[in-house]
Amino acid sequence: MDAYFKTEDMAVGYNGKILIHDINIEIEKGKILTLIGPNGAGKSTILKSITRQIPMIHGAVYIDHFEISKWSLKDMAKSMAVVLTERIRPELMSCAEVVAMGRYPYTNMIGKLTEKDKKIVLESLERVHALELASQDFLTLSDGQKQRVLLARAICQEPEVIVLDEPTAYLDVRHKIELLDILREMAKEKKITVIMSLHEIDLATKISDYLICVKGDQIAAFGPPEEVLKKDTIEKLYEIKKGSYNLYFGSVELTKPEGEPQIFVVAGGGYGIPCYRALQKRQIPFATGILYENDIDCQVAKDLSEHVITAPAFEPMKEDRFDAAAALLLQCKTVIDAGTPMGEFNQLNSKLLQLAKERNIPVLTDLSSIADGDGRK
């Protein structure tokens, strides 16, 4: 691998006290590196040390084999753009004027913009879908609009590396997606190397070529998302004691209900997930099955229940799976038919519904019929 951005034995902290040491990173040009980890872990400290916002305690940072500590601030600004979480408050400045600040490393001593500079300012605003904001007072913008303008300012610098600290923190879902799409385009088309921190783990895994897990006094993990993120990585990284993080869906599941199951959910094919989450919300312990091991329902069910009956994928369900599910069903006050279509391979689930009717156990198809705290109204 030809490393374009590299840290070597980097140690960061404040007032000479090391918080994180032995930070060794190598990534190619045009790749996206994302730092994840709990609040206070040191993600911002690492980014501020890379960008020379705070002095690095030990080690070196290289861009294209050049050690950046030897660069002048003006030369560094031509290679690296920074978008940090601190809110700037430029008085009486239009958005175009804020973005134009990104051209100052290229201007003459009096800071006068050329026609080329002005064109780049407008192109940068257009790239972040904010051209219509050019003449608007920056301080009148929403947080999301401000973030887009600050990104335009960074783009305006024409950097080789862009560093962002929680760039999605003030954005709604639509603008999170738009901003990350812009960063991905910049990395792919312009070969700009992107280094950022994100709280949204699901977004980090989708956009990043590399992840850094920041926790403790050393980097907990570094590498491609598929190598870094294992089943229990997120739980350990964030010390999740209650609830869980679903790696397949990129979603947080809240604490599973405790106790013996009161309701049995006959599900599969994604039909059970709304039922499981509704029961979790009401803190009603439930059992469910029979679910194929590769079924979308199975992934969530295991996060929310201790009583999940599964079957091997790609083959008809066997009678021993029915017996295990039937034993749980007969312990329950109520059965929910989640509405999963019945086919050749899951006929035993139809048999479970029939068993419930034969034993006069109510079979519900409407979640509103379920009361809080018990199996039925």
Q: What is the pLDDT of residues 64-121, one digit of tens each?
A: 999 999 999 888 998 999 998 666 677 789 999 999 999 988 876 666 888 999 999 9
Which residues neighbour 189 within 8 Å (Cβ) at sequence distance 6 or greater?
A: none
Whether the CB-CB separation of 197 and 36 falls below 8 Å is answered with yes
**CA dihedral defined by 145, 146, 148, 149, rounded to 10 degrees?**
120
**What are the tokens at 37?**
């980890």
Can 5-237 and 252-369 be said to share one CATH topology?
yes
Indicate the SS3 state at residue 332.
coil
Q: HSE (CB half, 13 Å, CA atoms) of 366?
A: 3
Q: Which percentage of the chain shows pLDDT scores above 90? A: 68
The per-residue pLDDT for 300 is: 93
Query: What is the residue-averaged pLDDT of the chain?
Result: 90
Q: CA 34 → CA 57, 194, 222, 330, 353, distances in Å?
A: 22, 8, 10, 49, 48
Least confident of 75-89, 118-132, 148-162: 75-89
Question: For the structural domain made of 252-369, what CATH number should be given?
Answer: 3.40.50.720
Distance of alpha carbon 19 from alpha carbon 79, whole angstroms: 27
Average pLDDT over residues 296-307: 94
Q: Where would I find the H helices in 89-213?
A: 95-100, 115-127, 143-156, 173-189, 201-207
Residue 374 has pLDDT above 80, yes or no: no
153 — pLDDT class (breaks 50, 70, 90): very high
Top-level CATH class of 5-237? Answer: alpha beta
Distance of alpha carbon 150 from alpha carbon 111, whole angstroms: 19
Domain ranges, ordered by start, for the chain: 5-237, 252-369
pTM: 0.82
Phi, psi of 194 (to 5 degrees): -110, 125
Residue 232 has pLDDT above 80, yes or no: no
